[in-house]
Structure 1
Amino acid sequence: MKNSYKVKASLIKKRFSEGGKELIAGRVFFCLQFSITIAILIIFLIVSNQVSLLTSHEIGFTKKNVLIIHRTNRNRDKAMVLAEELRQLPGVKAVSVTNAYPGGDLPTKDLQLKNSPNGFSYSPQYFCCDSAMIRVLDLKLVKGSFFSKRTPENAILLNETALKTYGLNTNSIGQIFTRTSGEEYTLIGVIKDFNFRVLYRPIEPMCMYTGTDHSNSLGASKILVKLNRIDKETIKGIKNKWNTVFNEAYFDYSFLDEEVNSLYTKEIFLKKIMPLFAILAFLISVIGLIGVTYIKINEKTKEIGIRKVNGANITEILAMLNKDTFKWVVIAILIASPIAWYAMHKWLQNFAYKTELSWWIFALAGILALGIALLTVTWQSWRAATRNPVESLRYE
């Protein structure tokens, strides 16, 4: 008889030992799952904030309702004829012939302040445009004047960043600049900084010069057309003018806002796909948590019955069952937060203008994860907490 009791006791001990190991393994796995889930959620929130900043940040020019005509074959004469024809269309506000548009690359050339005591020279970006560019992009003039039909060929404008680079201020209108090739240029105005390369890079020194109105040296590769609004009739009219001037050559056009937004294609795609990963990760974590909770409830069935016989209410039983989950989710938050912070800190270094890694993002992700975990455990534990204690005490 004594031997039978010993055998039964050893079997019970073995059962609970195996159940304990299973439970510990389940908790560790659950903690890792939730760490990954919380990290994905933090990353999603930060990526969303960054994409919102990229698409809404003040960039210093108007990109809406601007049509870009490509493939002018660098034919300045035809480009100028087409520009003049387009200005006659009723839906067109302004037309500018240029070598580039915001979001693209600009050439750099040396430019030195004449009679500079230290011989300082710099190679700013060169943006070649005509007198209409200020109206097409809604640029802001800080001081001096913009290009006009009467502007001499050697006139230039500098942006505010270029002015600071040369150690000048807005009272420097009239300063003479030279190039190593011997040409001289006169500063006629200062243009307010705008993000030509948008937000991947900081605003760089820029020199704006004319050429389309007076010089044959410019390869007029782009025509920017500012429209009152985008409609099929206006675009059809532009295409007809193109066909007339360029002899039915392929009419290749796009819109400036789409060109600028296309620079952030990867970031926008990441913002769209991250919620799917977050939902999938949460589902997997919740399934794992249900498994761990099931094992835990089975392990503590008799304890729950004893507590209820001794006067414990449903709230106290649920708090007991949720206590362990709370601890493991907090551990998961502590694991996920520094990993997500480091990954996003490195990613944001790709941008000159970046969102902040605010504390509330990490707090929100942690609260959401904790809330989902506790609701899952509470939902699954409700039956055990409301069960008749007599049934719990009979549980084998």
Structure 2
Amino acid sequence: MKLPILLKISVRSILKNKIQSLISILGLGIGLGCVFLLLLLFIHENSFDRSIPHKENIYRILRGNDCRTTYELGNTIEEEIPAIKSFFRIHQLNQFQLKDNQNKLFEEKNLACADSSIYKFLGIQILKGKASLSKDEICISSSIATKYFGKENPINQTLKIKFDKEFYDLNVCGVYRKMSTYSSLRPNFIGHIDLLSKLLNKSRKQLGHYTSDDNNFKDWNHFDLHTYIRLSDGINPKDIEQKLQVYKNRTSHDKKKELDYKLQAISDIYLYSNNLDGNFYTRTGNPSELIYFLVISILILTIAIVNYIFLTKAKIELRLKDLGVQKAMGASKNNIFKQILFESNLLAIFSLIPASVVMMFGIPFINQTLNRNINVEVLSIWQSYISLVAVLVITGSIAGVLLGYRISKISSVELIKGKLIKRIGKKQWSNSFLIVHFTIFIILVVGILAIKKQLNFAQSGSNNINTDNVIICELNSDELSSKFHMIENEVKKIPGVLKVAGSSFIPPFKDFLPVKLQYENDIIRFDGLIMGTGMLDLLDIEIKEGKGLGNFHESRREMIFNETAAKEYNIKVGSLFNGFMVRGIVKDFNAHSFHAKIRPMVILQQDPQKLYLLAVKTNKTSLQQVQKKLSSFFKEIELYKTINIYTLQDQIDDFYKKEEQQVTIISAFSILAIALSIMGLLGMVLNSISLKRKEIGIRKANGAKTHEIIRMINFSFIKWVLFAFIIACPISWFAMNQWLQNFAYKTELSWWIFVLAGIIAMGIALLTVSWQSWRAARKNPVESLRYE
């Protein structure tokens, strides 16, 4: 059968059954749109650093589970290991203040200091000028050049960067092309490696009184840099790893001598660095998150394909006589098969229209929700086109092959009679499709409810610490820190303020501050906090024994421990521990997210002149008003009008951003799953009612009430929703129980979550079926009998 004839027959068939064709196209389009979106996301996430020249020979050096290495390592291994062709080291300041040539103040991100070899390594193209060759020079990206200099030539212009106590003039020596969206390293500014001392001073400011004055970072005891190496062609990275082990003993830190050197391929950095310590400078993805999204896309596509197969089958059932006549007139099995397969693929091609709409709205949604940058650049990757075409062809062919193969083997006589042979199993098909629909739907709803319940539990605060109505202000200069008492007294005068205290770290906070103390003959690593006077009281942290933090005295050596530390190491109030007096024991509280268990903790007192953070406790009704007044207060000090002011709840919410993203994505796709389920169920109901018109007419003619007809039709569908509920419960329980293993402190999978998901599914089924049943039952029985 020739293509024009196939096209004519297929289009005529599609137009003849408009409603079912429309449902098929919309349903499959939504499913394909979801899969295309998540396929593009998957390809995007797996494409980082793969366009870098000689990427197969470039590695980052790790120490055990840590990314940080010493300054001396790069120079030494290049000289002593000939197989290492070149290297570069990098340290990055993620946030800093900048003044332009008109002395305007800005907050900026991502200033790196690195060896000049970074440009060749990463394929960074310098558009104007040259690379930075001294600590007084800086190279900027093209977007930064446009932002601060417009059309003016930025070369030899000056930017003032604030590192520690003052702004430092840097001469713009070059402009490089903005780095690819697929680069795990994306600095906006690149300075020379000798700028490292100033960046380290800025990074260490938060430690205040406990900051080391040792600026000799060019040795084997300071682990501050990421080191990248390029191997010569044909070199086995395992051989290089073995040679690196001799450098473990160069450090004087006994614990760090035990850490083996390893090499991480540059193409693995983006997706496989979440569990690494010190991975502060590179962008990272989440491979487990990708698995979640791929599973969801498969579930959505399964619903869409199930709909598509059933509706295609239903349409074919309505034209069995036409197919029988064609076969009787000489059409071969192959012709019938081709016709059904062609029509199935044609509908799939039409479904690209709604799929494109889903992608048009979905890409900005995913970018915003997951903080990604999927754009047309992803389509330049050859895997994108192959994946999209493969999904389309496979999806469009499934229904055509399954149905075309079976129907083409049926004799013309049986087709003209309008009945399929029993092995096609009409009822079994419908029932199994319905079960698949609602099993997937219930699993998704349980997932949303369970994740949301855990997030509410985690975001409501932490055990034994009151995080409500706390505002945090960053005192981002030594001048502000030195005026802490003045600022504290002024803030206390603001109406609605209950308590004010300073700190270097305010729990719950994201990072861990390791404090190493000697216990007997061992060095113990405690979870550390550095706080100011009054901070324990502001957060309502209960003191179980002893006293809280008093007035600061530089000569006083005192510590406070939590219950876990006291029990594990037999610490008593009033005793000495590592030369420090134990002032008190506090009740255990979560200093970090609910992902981490409470560890042995020590709390040190900070010098008020070196406090980095100001905490303000307000009453419930005054939080926003106080926040506005604080902004106005700090803006009065002209130099510091970019101070960050946020709530402690914002800081807590940031812990669970990944889970919030997951629940947002799952919710969005679940809405699409609901739409697909309703469309699929609607198609099944329409098909079922069309086949039962005679039965409905006879029942009506014999006195059956409308509600009896509705109940009869509803029961034939609802029982399978109940069966789907029974299947979905253990599957969803297992899946969510596995997900909850990410948390050290978790809520229970309550029974009501499963019941509510079942009620929602049942409600959707009842509304969809009852509406169509009511319409069918209200019709004149004479019309129904005449239809037959």
- Shorter chain as denominator, the TM-score bin is 0.7 to 0.9
Higher relative contact order (CA 8 A, sep 6+): 1
AA at the equivalent of 1:82: K
Greater shift, 200-209 or 104-113, is seen at 104-113
Q: Say yes or no: does 1:195 pair with 2:590.
A: yes
> What secondary structure does 2:649 align onto?
helix
1:132 corresponds to 2:524: no
Which sits farther off after the overlay, 350-359 or 29-38? 29-38
Deviations 1:5-30 (A, max 9, x none): xx9x9558841327975664344333
Structure 1 residues 39 and 70 mapped into 2: Cα distance closer, same or farther (>3 Å)? Answer: farther
Shift, 1:48, TM fit: 1.8
Partners in 1 of 2:556 and 2:769 — Cα distance? Answer: 76
SS in 1 for 2:584: strand
| Residue identity matched to 1:339 | I
Question: What is the Cα deviation at residue 233 of structure 1?
Answer: 3.3
1:107 aligns with 2:513: yes
Match of 1:285 in 2: 677
Q: Distance in 2 between matches of 1:66 and 1:46?
A: 30
SS in 1 for 2:483: helix
Displacement after TM superposition at 1:61 (Å): 3.2
Return the match for 1:329 from 721, 729, 732. Answer: 721
Cα distance in 2 between the residues matched to 1:85 and 1:67: 17
Task: Give the equivalent residue in structure 1 for 2:756.
Answer: 364
Match of 1:85 in 2: 486
Change (3 A) 1:386 1:12: farther
Match of 2:420 among 17, 20, 28: 17
1:261 aligns with 2:653: yes
Using the TM superposition, give the Cα deviation of residue 132 of structure 1 relative to its aligned residue in structure 2, in angstroms: 2.8
Q: What's the secondary structure of 1:126's corresponding residue?
A: strand
Residue 628 (structure 2) aligns with: 232
Deviation at 1:124, TM superposition (A): 1.5
Inter-CA distance 108–250: structure 2 relative to 1 (3 Å threshold): same
Pairing partner for 1:146 from 548, 568, 582? 548
Q: CA 1:110–1:24 in 2, change beyond 3 Å: closer, same or farther?
A: same
Taking a change above 3 Å as real, the CA distance of residues 10 and 361 of structure 1, as seen in their structure-2 partners, is: same
Q: Which sections of structure 2, spanning at least 5 residues, go unmatched?
A: 1-327, 329-411
**Residue 177 of structure 1: how far off its partner (Å):** 1.3
Contact 2:502 2:608 in 1 (8 A): no
Would you say the 8 A contact 1:297–1:384 is kept in 2? yes
Q: How much has 1:239 moved relative to structure 2? A: 4.7
Q: 2:24 maps to what in 1?
A: none
Matches within 5 A, 1:169-318: 172-178=572-578, 184-212=579-607, 220=610, 222-226=612-616, 228=618, 229=622, 230-240=626-636, 251-318=643-710
- Calculate percent identity across the aligned residue pairs: 34
Shift of 1:68: 3.0
Once residues 94 and 387 of structure 1 are traced to their aligned partners in structure 2, the CA distance between those partners, rounded to angstroms, is 74
| Distance in 1 separating the partners of 2:444 and 2:648 | 33
User: Equivalent residue of 2:718, what SS?
Assistant: helix
Structure 1 counterpart of 2:441, which letter?
Answer: T
Out of 557, 560, 576, the residue aligned to residue 157 of structure 1 is: 560
Look up the SS of the partner of 2:582 in the other structure. Answer: strand
Q: Kindly tell me: are residues 45 and 82 of structure 1, through their superposed partners in 2, closer, same or farther at Cα, counting changes over 3 Å? A: same
Structure 1 unaligned residues grouped into runs of 5+: 1-6, 179-183, 215-219
> Which residue of the partner structure matches residue 320 of structure 1?
712
Aligned equivalents of 1:394, 1:11: Cα separation in 2: 24
Change (3 A) 1:153 1:385: same
* CA contact 1:97–1:212 (8 Å) conserved in 2: no
- What is the one-letter code of the residue matched to 2:484? A
With normalisation by structure 1, the TM-score equals: 0.80
User: Structure 1 residues 227 and 57 mapped into 2: Cα distance closer, same or farther (>3 Å)?
Assistant: closer
Does residue 31 of the first structure (1) align with residue 435 of the second (2)?
yes
Q: Which residue of 2 aligns with 1:62?
A: 467
Provide the TM-score with structure 2 as the length reference.
Answer: 0.42
In the alignment, is the contact (CA less than 8 A) between 1:103 and 1:260 conserved in 2?
yes
- The one-letter code sitting in structure 2 at the alignment partner of 1:334 is I
The answer on whether the counterparts of 2:552 and 2:606 sit within 8 Å (CA) in structure 1 is no
- 2:488 touches 2:501 (CA, 8 Å); kept in 1? yes
CA contact (8 A) 2:442 2:757 kept: yes
Q: 1:10 to 1:315 in 2, by over 3 A?
A: farther
Partner Cα distance (1:213, 1:280) in 2: 55
Q: Where do residues 372-383 of structure 1 align in structure 2 (5 Å cutoff)? A: 372-383=764-775
Q: Distance in 2 between matches of 1:237 and 1:391?
A: 79
1:70/1:337 CA distance change after superposition, 3 Å: farther
Q: Which stretch shifts more, 386-395 or 78-87?
A: 386-395
- Counterpart of 1:217 in structure 2 is none
Q: Deviations over 1:238-286 (max 9, x none)?
A: 3545x6xxx6596344432212222222323444454433332112111
Question: CA deviation digits over 1:210-260, x for unaligned, max 9?
Answer: 24269xxxxx4722232545243333323545x6xxx65963444322122
Aligned length: 364
Question: Which digits, 9 at most, give the CA deviation of each residue in 1:42-99, with x for residues without a partner?
Answer: 1111122122112224441335232231544xx5xx5652212212312374231425
CA distance in 2, matches of 1:153, 1:50: 43
Residues 140, 192 of structure 1: 8 Å contact kept: yes
Q: Is the 8 A contact 1:322 1:378 kept in 2?
A: yes
CA contact (8 A) 2:437 2:677 kept: yes
The amino acid across from 2:471 in the alignment is: V
For the structure 1 residues 385 and 113, does the alpha-carbon distance in structure 2 shift closer, same or farther, using more than 3 Å as the test?
A: same
Partner secondary structure for residue 123 of structure 1:
strand
- Structure 1 pair 189/225, CA: closer, same or farther in 2 (3 Å)? same
Q: Which SS does the other structure have where 2:502 is aligned?
A: strand
Quote the residue 1:3 is aligned against. Answer: none
- The alpha-carbon distance between structure 1 residues 111 and 201, as it changes in their structure 2 partners (threshold 3 A), is same
